Amino acid sequence: MKKNPLVVALPVLALSALLLSGCGMFRSQKAWETAKQETPLEIPPGLDTPSTSAALVIPEPGANNPTANGATARFGKGGGVIADGFVINDTIDNTYRRVGQALENGDIGQVLAHDDDAHTYTLSVVASDLPTEKKGFFSSMFNGKSKQTADAPGAAPHQVQLTVGNSGVKASEVRAQGDAAAVAKVVDTLKGRLGGS
């Protein structure tokens, strides 16, 4: 006995219509009307957000245009100028003094000038723009510690401006501005020694 195609197609069509319309049966059409406005988040008393005025540096137009093969190239001899920093839970004067003590060794860079009133240091930092290969476990174990960035290929002195400013009621912001590699070296070393966040 041969089944009529209408007998098979009709239940399949009814089942399809039921499945497709089933999602809308359980949803409220006016759920957005019952939503309530929540109060905005507030900063707790005694805390303050760090300054973001110099957080972003806009690069020059065309500074990262791809070449014919798709690679990006640097313009000029060195890397770009960036600003980076961290926050320490201490007064400005104490932080400025602690930064000065950390710079006394001369292993971060040479202090060219300092202004006690403006809480600034001008440093000459030797850093490489080229990425250095990180030694493996066995290489560092048998060949000693890795050398400083001054020994890296392409290392050159770069000027870095270091500023200690206010960041809230009981916090200070240490901000470095200059060549990207030099700023990274200064910020990472100072952050490790002073315990910033």
Could you count the other beta carbons within 10 Å of the beta carbon of residue 143?
11
Tell me the two tokens of residue 13. 């069509």
Would you place residue 150 in the very low, low, confident or very high pLDDT band (cuts 50, 70, 90)?
A: very low
Q: Is 98 left (phi over 0), alpha (psi -120 to 50) or beta?
A: alpha
For the residues 170-174, what does the mean pLDDT come to? Answer: 86
Per-residue model confidence (pLDDT) at position 35: 80
pLDDT in tens, 157-170: 888 898 888 887 78
| 14 vs 26, more confident | 14
Task: Give the residue-averaged pLDDT of 2-25.
Answer: 78
Lowest mean pLDDT among 16-20, 80-84, 128-132: 128-132
pLDDT category, 34, cuts 50, 70, 90? confident
pLDDT score, position 53: 66
Is the pLDDT at 95 greater than 60? The verdict is yes
What would the two tokens of residue 126 be? Answer: 């030797």
Report the DSSP beta bridge partners of residue 163: 120, 175
If one compares 35 and 160, the residue with the highest pLDDT of the two is 160
